[in-house]
Amino acid sequence: MSAELKRARALELSGAYGALEHYISGQPVVGQGRSFDITDPSTGKVIGKAHDAAASEVEAAVAAARDAFPAWSQRSGNERKAILHRIADLIVARADDIAALECLDTGQCWRFMSKAAIRGAENFRFFADRAPSASDGLALPSAEHINITSRHPLGPVAVITPWNTPFMLSTWKIAPALAAGCTVVHKPAEWSPYSARLLVEIAHEAGLPPGVFNTLNGLGETTGKALTEHPAIKAVAFVGESKTGAAIMKQGADTLKRVHFELGGKNPTIVFDDANLDAALDAAIFMIYSLNGQRCTSGSRLLVQRSIYDSFLSRAAERVKALKVGDPFDPATEVGPLIHQRHLDKVLSYMPLAASEGARILAGGARLDAAGDGYFVEPTLIGEAAQSMRVAREEIFGPVLTAIAFDNEADAITKANDVDYGLAAYLWTGDSGRALRVSSALETGMVWVNSENVRHLPTPFGGMKASGIGRDGGDWSFDFYMETKNVALSLGNHKTPRMGVSK
């Protein structure tokens, strides 16, 4: 399909929703709250509207999830597994529609979004297969008791997601919640709500009972806040900015909400002079400029050993200048627009800052000429930066790479860890001992050695420090969505202390 046809299909799909409704108890519900615009980042044009959820709509969605919980949690794991696999089948069948909507709504490139849709299906299959054993626990015998643990779904949970890769991230949170036996109220980001609507429709087409999975549109400070404060919501799975995570923790405090946070990052790619430099360059470029740099695990800091710094940076600059920026629907495009005018302004504000802090822009550094009203920025490489600079410490969340030189192993570790964040790190070296030493010293939840970010679903995903609380993936997801219970059975040979028997 040509880029034009893909865009036309995406516009047809988004237009079909008119004003995008909420989805409660298996039905579209016309929103009564204040409306907000949804824009196409490639053109800056308004493509639709959605409504912030009114208080009564939040109540209705939470009530639906609460009412559906007993029956859904009591379905056998095999039944849940079958429905989740059907969801995955339908995602695969509609992968092109999902990718097209995602390109239109977020400006992410087709070459990545077609894979993200398939990855969404894989998320459902992975957790579907584990649904039958999600409740299983351990037998922990002592001399006098047999202890048996089991896990039980928490109840209705809120899933609040960001705008960068909305479909994939939503499946990553919602699939394990449903597999565990929880019911869900999902609030997608207000800047990119369309693919969430497709997901909830697909889930119902696959046979998910009404009320098990509900979607509310709305803003963070209203709809999102109301969900995180609602007493019937037992947990909040949140993906977004660190400062929003802090706000949600406060909002959920009165109801002792269980929280799972996947937050921001300022992830280092560390290149030692003994590394395979060709491979390191490919990975360093991919990890910051793919997904328009709007990626929590982006390698947004490039730490390069001083002996190879100049040559590595000049090769990197050539590659950055050659990146193909343009229409996200064109399969040749490598970098699309940023999500929104406000985000474009934020990313562009770092360009003069870099210069005023004493760094040097080696490639890019401006809004893209001929971008019209689209939110395009030139892929940017900032060199000669120091770890103390804001461009080296703050999450810019765009196609902007900040490069810093280091002298030796100790200096690399100090600089890598000298940020508030601790999500991921990428380490390039030919020395296996150094790989083990450095990865052990890095304060990040994930380290890839001689590799870009390649996800393996059974492994834990999540960050330290300001990058998050909790882990997803494998069994870690079920630990969040379920309560663990211990039952101690006496073997009949223990002595219960007697009280009230002394004269």
Q: Which of 57, 190, 229, 262 is catalytic?
A: 262
Residue-by-residue DSSP string for 372-420: TTS--B--EEEEEE-TTSHHHHS---SSEEEEEEE-SHHHHHHHHH-SS
Enter the tokens of residue 71.
């029956």
**Interior CA angle at 125 toward 119 and 127, to 5°?**
105
Q: Residue 145: what are its φ and ψ, rounded to 5°?
A: -140, 150
Active site residue 59: no
- How far apart CA 106 and CA 156 sit, in angstroms, is 28
Q: Which of 103, 122, 296, 452 is catalytic?
A: 296
CB 480 within 8 A of CB 174: no
Shortest spacing between CB 470 and ligand NAD, in angstroms? 10
Shortest spacing between CB 299 and ligand NAD, in angstroms? 13
Q: From residue 12, how far is each of 9, 18, 20, 100, 134 by CA, in Å? A: 5, 10, 13, 10, 40
Q: Would you call 323 exposed, middle or buried from its count of C-beta atoms within 10 A (0-12, 13-18, 19+)?
A: middle
Residue closer to ligand NAD (CB basis): 83 or 425 = 425
Residue closer to ligand NAD (CB basis): 241 or 373 = 241
Question: Listing from the earlier edge strand, what are the strands of the sheet with 46-51?
Answer: 19-20, 46-51, 35-39
Shortest spacing between CB 88 and ligand NAD, in angstroms? 21
- How far apart CA 315 and CA 333 sit, in angstroms, is 21
- Kindly state the DSSP code that residue 474 receives in the 8-state scheme: T
- What Rg value do the Cα atoms of the chain yield, rounded? 24
Q: What are the b/e assignments for 325-334, b being 16+ CB within 10 Å?
A: bbbbbbeebb
- How far apart CA 242 and CA 464 sit, in angstroms, is 11
Active site residue 229: no
- How far apart CA 178 and CA 68 sit, in angstroms, is 12
Shortest spacing between CB 214 and ligand NAD, in angstroms? 15
Shortest spacing between CB 207 and ligand NAD, in angstroms? 27
Enter the tokens of residue 178.
């449903």
Quickly tell me which residue has 């009114």 as its tokens.
54
Shortest spacing between CB 271 and ligand NAD, in angstroms? 23
Residue closer to ligand NAD (CB basis): 209 or 460 = 460
Helices 3-16 and 95-106: crossing angle, nearest 10°? 90
User: Which region, left, alpha or beta, applies to residue 410 given φ > 0 means left and ψ of -120 to 50 means alpha?
Assistant: alpha
Task: For residue 275, give the nearest of 405, 409, 447, 429 by alpha carbon.
Answer: 429
Task: For residue 163, give the nearest of 34, 291, 355 by alpha carbon.
Answer: 291
Residue number with the smallest Cβ distance to ligand NAD? 220
Residue closer to ligand NAD (CB basis): 157 or 405 = 157
Helices and strands of the chain, counted as H and E runs = 16, 23
Residue closer to ligand NAD (CB basis): 77 or 224 = 224
Shortest spacing between CB 261 and ligand NAD, in angstroms? 8
Residue closer to ligand NAD (CB basis): 291 or 362 = 291
Shortest spacing between CB 239 and ligand NAD, in angstroms? 5
Residue closer to ligand NAD (CB basis): 190 or 327 = 190
Shortest spacing between CB 477 and ligand NAD, in angstroms? 13
Q: How many residues does the chain have?
A: 503
Quickly tell me which residue has 């328009």 as its tokens.
292
Q: Which residues here bind ligand NAD, judged by CB under 6 A? A: 160-164, 169, 187, 189-190, 219-221, 224-225, 228, 239-241, 244, 247-248, 251, 262-265, 296, 395, 397, 423, 463, 468
Active site residues: 262, 296
